[in-house]
Amino acid sequence: MSVNDLSQAKNPDLLASVAAMQHAAQEARDIAIQFNTGIVVEDNDGNILHIDAETLRKERDEQRAKGSPSADPTTV
């Protein structure tokens, strides 16, 4: 199932799973930044991407500059 499929699900557990996965992904990014390590992710085309801590920091700072709530560590 894609994220779009999950967001349209009628089962409340499936609906909650989207937010849980997004939260876990953000936590992984935060931990990687904290320990100055990178992460490995798969993009929508199935390509494996290695993202270093500096790139994660830049992305986080850009999100914060835009006022994105996901970039604010005080929001859940």
Are 53 and 36 within 8 A, CB to CB? yes
**The Cα angle at residue 18 between residues 15 and 24, in degrees rounded to 5:** 140
Mean pLDDT of 2-27: 85
74 or 29, higher pLDDT: 29
pLDDT on residue 8: 81
pLDDT(44) > 70: yes
Are 37 and 26 within 8 A, CB to CB? no
pLDDT on residue 25: 95
Q: How far apart are CA 45 and CA 31, in angstroms?
A: 25
In this prediction the pTM is 0.72
Q: Which helix (H) or strand (E) holds 50?
A: strand 48-51
